[in-house]
Amino acid sequence: MSDFERRTVDTLIGVAGELATRGWLRATSGNLSVKDPDSGRIYITRSGSDKQRLTPADVLTLSAEGNILAGVGKPSFETPVHLAIYRHTSSGAVFHVHTVYNNLVSRYADDMGVRFHDHEMLKALGHWQEDAAVTLPVVPNFAHIPQLAEAVAQAVNPRVPAVLLKKHGIYAFGETADAALRHLEAFEFLFEWLCLDRLSEAAARHPVTLS
């Protein structure tokens, strides 16, 4: 095993454990991958694995085309989505999680996507200007994975490092695992803020009197 492989497996196990602890990978949901920029090989989590307790055996090695080069079992069911993101971006890592907040936001999003503006957290997505605005693409949750992968490929915007799937979850990506994680955390922060901001506005319109 090369140094890169060893470090990548450690990174995937570490990130999965951290995200699982936050409740972002419940019931074996979600999947994570890292791409070797030199060989084009992709390291991805095994389908159905418990992301809280990943071991090196839960990481499979794939060719850029998705053929299994090493590892036992099946790679993530959603591998074609990861491959599509790698094909259409310069990403080195793709992290997919299901959270209550990303599902809530996706439920109320329309086909134009979810627009975030006038928020400090946009800097974590690489948008530093004062009037920054980011529209997160949203795609239907097609059950047929090749169709889902194609929809994600069509939706990817090079200025926005994520795609949201309706009532399913988010795919966040970046040039490195650290960048993909930062983008994922920034979007999840914005989802929580959006939901709670709407809730607080609704509460303000319907004040409750305590007697």
Between β-strands 31-35 and 59-62, what pairing exists: parallel, antiparallel or unpaired?
Answer: unpaired
Burial of residue 173, with CB atoms counted within 10 A of its CB: 0-12 exposed, 13-18 middle, 19 or more buried = buried
Asked whether residue 88 is marked as a ligand-binding residue, the answer is no
Please, which of residues 153-192 interact with ligand L4RZE5RM by CB under 6 A?
none
**Which one of Zn ion, ligand L4RZE5RM, none interacts with residue 47, CB within 5 to 8 A by kind?**
ligand L4RZE5RM
Stretch in the footprint of Zn ion (CB under 5 A) among 48-56, 114-122, 165-173, 181-189: 165-173
Q: Is 146 in the site for ligand L4RZE5RM (CB under 6 A)?
A: no
- Sign of the C-alpha dihedral, residues 135, 140, 145, 148? negative
Asked whether residue 168 is marked as a ligand-binding residue, the answer is no
Q: Is 48 in the site for ligand L4RZE5RM (CB under 6 A)?
A: yes
* Sequence letter at residue 54: L
Residue for token pair 């602890």: 21
* Binder among 8, 31, 91, 106 for ligand L4RZE5RM (CB under 6 A): 31
Please, which of residues 66-125 interact with ligand L4RZE5RM by CB under 6 A?
76-78, 96
Q: Is 29 in the site for ligand L4RZE5RM (CB under 6 A)?
A: yes
Burial 41-75 (b: 16+ CB within 10 A, else e): bbbbbbbebebeebeeebbbbbeeeeeeeebeeeb
Q: Is 141 in the site for ligand L4RZE5RM (CB under 6 A)?
A: no
Query: Alpha-carbon distance 140 to 111, whole Å?
Result: 9
Instruction: Name the residue nearer to Zn ion (CB basis): 77 or 108.
Output: 77
Q: Torsions phi, psi of 181, nearest 5?
A: -65, -45
Min dist CB 133 to Zn ion, Å, is 27
| Helix residue ranges per DSSP H, the chain | 3-21, 79-88, 100-108, 145-155, 177-205
Residues making contact with Zn ion (CB under 5 A): 169
Q: Can you say which residues are annotated as belonging to the binding site for Zn(2+)?
A: 96, 98
Residues that bind ligand L4RZE5RM (CB under 6 A): 27-31, 45, 47-48, 76-78, 96
